[in-house]
Chains A and B, each alone.
Chain A
Amino acid sequence: MSNRILVLGDGAAGTIISNKLRFLIPTEDADITVIGNSKFHYFKPDGIHIPLGMKRYQDSVKKPEFLFNYGINYVKDTISNIDVQNKKVSTKSGKEHTYDYLIIATGDRLVPEDIPNFASEAHHFYSLEGSLELKKKLAGFNGGKIVIGPSSIPYQCPPAPYEFTFQLYRYLNKRGILKDTEIHYIFPPNRVFTIENVAVYIEKLFDEKNIQYHTMFNVESIDSGARKINSLEGEELPYDLLVLVPPHKGQEVITKSGLADEVGYIDVDKHKLTYGNYDNVFVIGDATNLPISKAGATAHFESEYLASKIASEISGFISDDEYDGAVACTTVTGDEKAMTLYFSYN
């Protein structure tokens, strides 16, 4: 009997897992269907480089259809309900999809509206539109105070804000306006990065470049009149240009389907990536509540584990492999340098 594998989401995680599954499982053993609603597949890491003129946005977008290998059924639709009890997924077009295996890979979303005045005052590089706007804004910037950082945690790709800061430093230097600019970096916990030994290194680089940093700074509000941001901890910082990672939440359909609280990230078994007591329902990518980076690299490592587990099961073996939280990602630190971070649950 052919197994039905249903993947929800056509972003990084949905694309990687479905292609890996198709590579491992012959078409006669499983149907693979992906449901997603992206207009185009945008390679988000380029968001750092587009505002600084280091990358053309036209090279960062592709049609999602183009990314799925032969033998994957791609359905363009919006998921409106996920019913794990009855193994049914409903979509906006009125269709119902059933499955033997369900993989939720719906990612998360930006919620700038959670901070008053974000839309009118802050810029960001967390969407293609945001990066293109920021590019225009930077072109007209001729010096002043720039405040950069994540407004809160969690957010996608923890190193991205410091990577952007280092590339911005280089950009300002090239344009000859670094001497007229103060860069202030803000970060929510009590160091400049979540992982302690990385934070020590980044602080050293910030010190060398005279980039000032303010830790334990969780953005609470933006005062558009005084052009200041205020933190939950009671500090304020004036700005001429504000580049903030917008707050993030999980998808509304996740909360509406009762799979998570109102913040929307799904609790999963950290070694099996399963949801609740359902051993045929998996969650990967940014949609999870796991204590590891929300990154394409995470989606990739999780997919390695999960695709081989499902493929083994379908071919009659029992796999007792577990995911250990391993992730590796390379991050840029400016001056044509980069470093690779390796981490896991331990």
Chain B
Amino acid sequence: MEEKIKPTKIIDARGSFCPGPLMELIKAYKSAKLNDIISVYSTDSGTKRDASAWIKKSNNELIGVFEHEGYYEIVMKKTKG
């Protein structure tokens, strides 16, 4: 992830399979505040598609999908109150 974006919360769902990481993201989203940035780490490539689709459907902002050594990072901003 780019240096300047600092997540409010990081969910490490590496090793868990879809839809585990997405459900962890939704759980964190429920308790997050407006404008919080949530980042989820996942080793399941399906999370890229699933989490991005959910972020869009729920009218929040998808900041980006990043590929790291052995895992993906999906970053969102809670823009819906």
Contact = CB atoms under 8 A, between A and B. Distances in A.
Interface of A: 153-154, 188-190, 194, 196, 216, 218, 232-234, 263, 291, 345
Contacts of A153: 19, 23
B53 A216 contact: yes
A190 B23 contact: no
Given A216-B54, A232-B26, A233-B58, 13 more contacts: A153-B19, A188-B23, A189-B19, A189-B54, A190-B19, A190-B22, A190-B53, A194-B19, A216-B53, A232-B29, A233-B54, A233-B57, A345-B17
29 contacts: A153-B19, A153-B23, A188-B19, A189-B18, A189-B22, A189-B23, A189-B50, A190-B19, A190-B54, A190-B57, A194-B18, A194-B19, A196-B46, A216-B53, A216-B54, A216-B57, A216-B58, A218-B26, A232-B26, A232-B30, A232-B58, A233-B54, A233-B58, A234-B58, A234-B59, A234-B80, A263-B27, A291-B16, A345-B17
A50 to B, nearest CB: 29
B7 interface: no
Residue in B22, B26, B46 with the greatest tally of chain A CB atoms within 10 Å:
B26
A216 B46 CA distance: 15
A107 to B, nearest CB: 20
B64 interface: no
Contacts of A154: 23
Contacts of B80: 234
Nearest to B26: A218
Interface in B9-29: 16-20, 22-23, 26-27, 29
